[in-house]
Amino acid sequence: MDEFYRETWIEVQLDAISSNVKNMYNHLPNDTDLMVAVKANGYGHGAYETATIALESGATALATALLDEAIYLRKQGITAPILVLGYVPPNYAQIAADYNISLTVFQKEWVDTAKTVLTSSLPVHIKCDTGMGRLGVRTVRELEELLNSVKRNEFFHLEGIFTHFAAADEQNSSYYLQQLRKFQSFLEIVKEKPRWIHASNSAASLRFADGLFDLVRSGISTYGLTPSIDIVSELPFPLQPALSLHTRLTHVKKVAKGAKISYGGTYTAKEDEWIGTIPIGYADGWLRLLQGQSVLIDGIRVPIVGRICMDQCMIKLPQKYPVGSLVTLIGNQGEEHITVNEIAEKLGTINYEVICILSHRLPRVYKKGKKIVQIKNELFR
Ligand SMILES: Cc1ncc(COP(=O)(O)O)c(C=O)c1O
């Protein structure tokens, strides 16, 4: 177990991830497999740790955005199928093949170049762009050409065909349906069905039965967060947030009425006030826009006052608290709760972004129930 010597840490409740994965698995038909997206360091939760508990809880496969992320998992000993969802330069095709990592293909030119470097079998998934406008073939004709190129080389093994929904998390499902129909029209020309046809992300998997096919790719719901606020009332099972963020008071003082706090002196004490310092700042992913956001101490909400610095910020206390007192930035204290969605709203963004930007400087403490099972400090790796 890694050590850490600072007073700020992320807690990841592995039981929550396990329960989210089990609930998703049980929600799916028997013949639909579950692929868990662990890109971006498992949405900030730790890619290896998430992958391990997800595979134990019903997931069959994993997805990353980058070949590097997939190789990292292989180097940690993960043997389950891994699909890289993003673009990998074709000259790295053999590296993927060596690690038995599946790549996403959508360009005939890519196939032509990859062919020249491949000396062993590479599993590939063809990506269809049905309306996301990001990656993928956009016409049936392009798909046909690509299928033929892939088929012509013995080293390509067509493992999957997929698409990605752009608006499955919106109340109005018309764009979802439009994409689904387009994907179905693409599939009509596929004569030899690969192992996995797949389309649905968390939102689509949770809401729609008609897009499940052979496999779903679930990211955000694995971590216990809703794909969007719009669909909270439609969730078929409760999602359990796995991540919480904590720190401790490092300094406490009474300042006189009129005293200024932090860079630029944007906060002035309205009376004699207790001010606490906490060791988290924008370099940890706790952005300056969070000035004014509440944190929890002693089960109550108190505000961040003054500008957030790179490594620290200040909070206004209702009374003196001892140095070392627990402060929760995301999570529960007593009856009070600060959600990732609350932070996202304050930042004018989505929950996905909040958890992805929590930086590598924050040690991750993994728990099963109350027991700490693993501590990871990226600074020592
Ligand atoms: C291609 C693809 N599939 C699946 C996912 C997982 O999506 P979600 O986290 O909304 O479940 C993503 C995430 O962005 C993605 O890019």
Q: Spot the catalytic one: 39, 127, 316, 376.
A: 39
Which amino acid makes up residue 158? L
pLDDT of residue 196: 98
The pLDDT tens digits for 79-117 are: 999 999 999 999 999 999 999 999 999 999 999 999 999
The pLDDT tens digits for 226-282 are: 999 999 999 999 999 999 999 999 999 999 999 999 999 999 999 999 999 999 999
Ligand 1 close to Cβ of residue 198 (< 6 A): no
DSSP string, 15-34: HHHHHHHHHHHHHS-TT-EE
- Report the length, in residues, of the chain: 381
Atom from ligand 1 closest to the CA of residue 205: 11
Q: Spot the catalytic one: 151, 193, 254, 263.
A: 263
Domains detected in the chain: 31-223 (3.20.20.10), 243-380 (2.40.37.10)
pLDDT of residue 2: 83
Q: Which of 201, 205, 228, 354 to mutate to test the pocket of ligand 1 (most atoms within 8 A of CB)?
A: 201
**Which stretches of 29-105 are assigned E, i.e. beta strand?**
33-37, 61-64, 82-84, 102-105
Q: Sorting pLDDT into bands at 50, 70 and 90, what band is 381?
A: confident
Q: Tell me, yes or no, if 39 is annotated catalytic.
A: yes
Query: Is the pLDDT reported for residue 312 higher than 90?
Result: yes
Query: Is the pLDDT reported for residue 307 higher than 90?
Result: yes
Q: Tell me, yes or no, if 263 is annotated catalytic.
A: yes
* Cβ burial 324-362 (10 Å sphere, 16+ → b, else e): ebebbbbbebeeeebbbbebbebeeebbbbbbbbbeebb
**Maximum Cα–Cα distance for the chain, whole Å?**
78
Q: For ligand 1, atom 2, which residue shows the shortest CA distance? A: 164
Q: For ligand 1, atom 6, which residue shows the shortest CA distance? A: 219
Query: Is the pLDDT reported for residue 163 higher than 90?
Result: yes
Ligand 1 close to Cβ of residue 355 (< 6 A): no
What residues contact 319, with CB distance under 8 A and at least 6 apart? Answer: 274
Q: With beta carbons less than 8 A apart as the criterion, state whether 378 and 25 touch.
A: no
pLDDT of residue 1: 78
How far, in Å, is the centroid of ligand 1 from the Cα of 175?
A: 17
Q: Sorting pLDDT into bands at 50, 70 and 90, what band is 158?
A: very high
